[in-house]
Chains A and B, each alone.
Chain A
Amino acid sequence: MSNKKDNKNSYLQMFRQMVRIRAFEEQANQLYLSAKMPGLTHMYVGQEAVAVGICEALTPNDKITSTHRGHGHCVAKGADFKQMFCELLGKKEGYCRGKGGSMHIADQANGNLGANAIVGGSAGIATGAALTAKRLGKKEVSVCFFGDGALGQGLLYETMNMAALWKLPIIYACENNLYGEYTKVEEMAAGDLKARAKGFGIESFEVDGQDVLAVNNLTQELVERARKGDGPFFMLLNTYRYHGHHVGDINREYYRSKEEEQLWRDERDPIKNLSMLLIDKKISTSEELKSIELEIEKDAEEAVDYALNAAWPEASEVNMHVFAAN
């Protein structure tokens, strides 16, 4: 399936985007641990293939809604490091002028309607974006990213029901990283996860969320169908987060073992596996991939330095943007 994809640029772009996410997250993790970053943050490391595989199948006009673990989606949808780090640090040049932070980062220009700190909270927004596309005949598709934890939220089922009734161009992308906060998914979600969507008559697919090419291929197919009015669709993406629920969730043996984590890092890492494939298929070389990684690491470091030195918002910002101008 993945060997159908023979466009070198496309492979390298997916590799680059996954590396960008990982580089961003490693820097964010360091910023947080060194107490330079305020607040609360959740690492996407390990799940890069999901965001990249899906977003590489979208145009900038297609809309996504993201989650509290949202840096990966934001990078994958085309965001710039500097503005992202500025936002994470609460600086004026951030995507949201420092008012959103890690959990609300949004990038409207690239179709990212924003991360959301309410689990499942963006299901309505993504579905509404699909309603707009349909109503205005825009041929745009929405992707609603959510985790396995959101399967416990009624809003998701209400909106999937309406999306199915109204045949909206939306893909519900369920990233099953096996744990909702500090609890195994089996302890929180009964029955067949895919069957939930099937109950509404929504076509449901399960895909290896560590295989970026598989994710991308499936998404391309579904996006194309959704644009024609065949939506909505449901994707169950099996994946894994390497870090804890949030930075600071360190001693987590009570809910999962170190051995399990190491197994995923060693054998299921999406970047490692893609680079092996690219080298194996002679699409690229380890030197070329290494130089891409180094270049991106440098970009990330520079962006962090830039953000650390960037200006804070003026105090007058505090009551700006409560209401939109008329």
Chain B
Amino acid sequence: MREITFGAAVNEAISEEMRLDNSIIVLGEDVAEAGTPFKVLSGLVEEFGTDRVVDTPISEPGFTGIAVGAAITGLRPIVDIMFGDFLFLIMDQLCNQAAKTHYMSGGKLSVPMVLRTNMGATRRSAAQHSQSLHSLVAHIPGLKVAMPSSAYEAKGLMKTAIRDNNPVVIFEDKLMYNDKAEVPEEEYLINFGEANILHPGTDITLIATSSMVQQAEIAANTLADQNISAEVIDPRTISPLDENTLINSVKKTSHAIVIDEGHQNFGVTAEIAARISEKAFYYLDAPVQRLGAMDVPVPFSPVLEDLTVPTAQQIHDRAVMVLKGEI
């Protein structure tokens, strides 16, 4: 099968859907001729024109709000928030308006929009261009949150997001844009709320999101060298969350580590660990472990920044400790 990059997969997903549905527009800073700083949207404006691929001023709350209104009234906007860190600017439009409109209107209005943004540290971009803020979004009822972990996932999840009748926020790890993976040329969708078991195992469950899935897979392979059978699960969407698959795996292995690049405090790792303790407590043979981003603003200096993100080695070491009963 052909291999394409993560960025190209996102581009393909959006292009394909825009060809199918004339109500889809792209709104954001430098999405048209510039094709975004990461060039993910390059070529879209040439095909669909500036009516549908709309460069906005640097006004994140404004164009997010406009997208909400457009979505309520019949368009299917894809909003591009250049860096995940800028989510803090649009919290009212995203969380008070987009998330609640369907509910507050008793189901009469809906907001079919996609907000694509990014996450991920170690790009030496310092504290305001490196954050992974997906758990903030997932906290809000009415918003769906997808976290593609490969080019294949990126395309399938993006297409599903565009067809969803709700506000969906997609977090793309900016360090994965050039990672290649096999992506079929035929159309496919990836359902939300269906976790992916990438690597079946019996001894310990490694639940990982986004780029941490790759790290977990590396750890699973090194653990296998030590005769430890790790099961790697990618939830794909954290809202909705495929709790059953996670819980069933933990019931089988009795050990779990949750790995996510968001801050550990009150984050995805906390949520999933809590659900495991609620639903699989009597199957646990060791405390659930969490590996999240260190609870510090992301530092600039490479030697410091690299310390803040979980690594395959840390996952491996923690798994060994769990299984040896050292925790």
Interface residues of A (CB under 8 A from B): 63, 65, 94-100, 104, 106, 108, 113-114, 116, 118, 121-133, 135-136, 142, 154-155, 158-159, 161-162, 165-166, 320-326
Interface residues of B (CB under 8 A from A): 23, 25, 51-52, 54, 56-57, 59, 61-75, 77, 92-93, 96-97, 101-112, 141-142, 144, 163-166
Chain A residues whose CB sits within 8 angstroms of the CB of B72 once the complex forms:
113, 125, 128-129
Give the CA-CA distance A63 to B73 in the complex, in Å.
9
A-B contact pairs, 8 of them (CB 8 A): A96-B108, A99-B103, A104-B104, A128-B75, A129-B73, A155-B65, A166-B54, A324-B110
Q: Report the minimum CB–CB distance from A197 to chain B (whole Å).
A: 15
Give the CA-CA distance A121 to B54 in the complex, in Å.
22
Given A135-B51, A165-B57, A325-B165, is A159 in contact with B65 using a C-beta cutoff of 8 Å? yes
Q: Report the minimum CB–CB distance from B321 to chain A (whole Å).
A: 39
Flag if A121 contacts B23 (CB, 8 Å). no
Chain A residues whose CB sits within 8 angstroms of the CB of B52 once the complex forms:
135
Given A125-B69, A129-B72, A158-B59, is A321 in contact with B107 using a C-beta cutoff of 8 Å? yes
Q: Report the minimum CB–CB distance from A23 to chain B (whole Å).
A: 25
Chain A residues whose CB sits within 8 angstroms of the CB of B111 once the complex forms:
324
Of the candidates B51, B77, B108, B112, the one having the most CB atoms from chain A within 10 angstroms of its own CB is B108
Chain B residues whose CB sits within 8 angstroms of the CB of A125 once the complex forms:
65, 68-69, 72, 97
Q: Report the minimum CB–CB distance from B231 to chain A (whole Å).
A: 29
Given A125-B97, A159-B65, is A114 in contact with B105 using a C-beta cutoff of 8 Å? yes
Partner pick for B106 among A95, A123, A136, A325, CB 8 A cutoff = A95
Flag if A132 contacts B104 (CB, 8 Å). no
Chain A residues whose CB sits within 8 angstroms of the CB of B163 once the complex forms:
326
Give the CA-CA distance A322 to B102 in the complex, in Å.
7
Residue of A nearest to B61 (CB): A155
Partner pick for B25 among A97, A100, A135, CB 8 A cutoff = A135
Q: Report the minimum CB–CB distance from B27 to chain A (whole Å).
A: 9
Chain A residues whose CB sits within 8 angstroms of the CB of B108 once the complex forms:
95-96, 106, 108
Partner pick for B101 among A114, A123, A135, CB 8 A cutoff = A114
Flag if A104 contacts B62 (CB, 8 Å). no
Q: Report the minimum CB–CB distance from B216 to chain A (whole Å).
A: 29
Q: Report the minimum CB–CB distance from A317 to chain B (whole Å).
A: 8
Give the CA-CA distance A97 to B103 in the complex, in Å.
9
New A-B pairs, 15, CB < 8 Å, besides A122-B69, A158-B63: A63-B73, A108-B108, A114-B104, A118-B96, A122-B97, A123-B62, A125-B97, A128-B77, A129-B72, A132-B75, A136-B23, A159-B65, A324-B107, A324-B166, A326-B164
Give the CA-CA distance A62 to B144 in the complex, in Å.
30
Partner pick for B69 among A99, A127, A136, A321, CB 8 A cutoff = A127
Chain A residues whose CB sits within 8 angstroms of the CB of B93 once the complex forms:
121, 124, 155
Residue of A nearest to B69 (CB): A128
Give the CA-CA distance A118 to B142 in the complex, in Å.
18
Chain A residues whose CB sits within 8 angstroms of the CB of B106 once the complex forms:
94-100, 321
Chain A residues whose CB sits within 8 angstroms of the CB of B56 once the complex forms:
162
Give the CA-CA distance A43 to B133 in the complex, in Å.
39
Given A99-B104, A162-B66, is A124 in contact with B61 using a C-beta cutoff of 8 Å? yes
Q: Report the minimum CB–CB distance from A15 to chain B (whole Å).
A: 30
Q: Report the minimum CB–CB distance from A122 to chain B (whole Å).
A: 8
Chain B residues whose CB sits within 8 angstroms of the CB of A165 once the complex forms:
57
Flag if A129 contacts B109 (CB, 8 Å). no
Chain A residues whose CB sits within 8 angstroms of the CB of B92 once the complex forms:
118, 121, 155
Chain A residues whose CB sits within 8 angstroms of the CB of B63 once the complex forms:
124, 158, 162
Residue of B nearest to A136 (CB): B74
Residue of B nearest to A138 (CB): B74
Chain B residues whose CB sits within 8 angstroms of the CB of A136 once the complex forms:
23, 74-75
Chain A residues whose CB sits within 8 angstroms of the CB of B110 once the complex forms:
324
Give the CA-CA distance A123 to B8 in the complex, in Å.
34
Chain A residues whose CB sits within 8 angstroms of the CB of B104 once the complex forms:
96, 99-100, 104, 106, 114
Give the CA-CA distance A122 to B92 in the complex, in Å.
10
Residue of B nearest to A100 (CB): B104
Flag if A161 contacts B105 (CB, 8 Å). no
Chain A residues whose CB sits within 8 angstroms of the CB of B107 once the complex forms:
97, 320-321, 324
Residue of A nearest to B240 (CB): A323
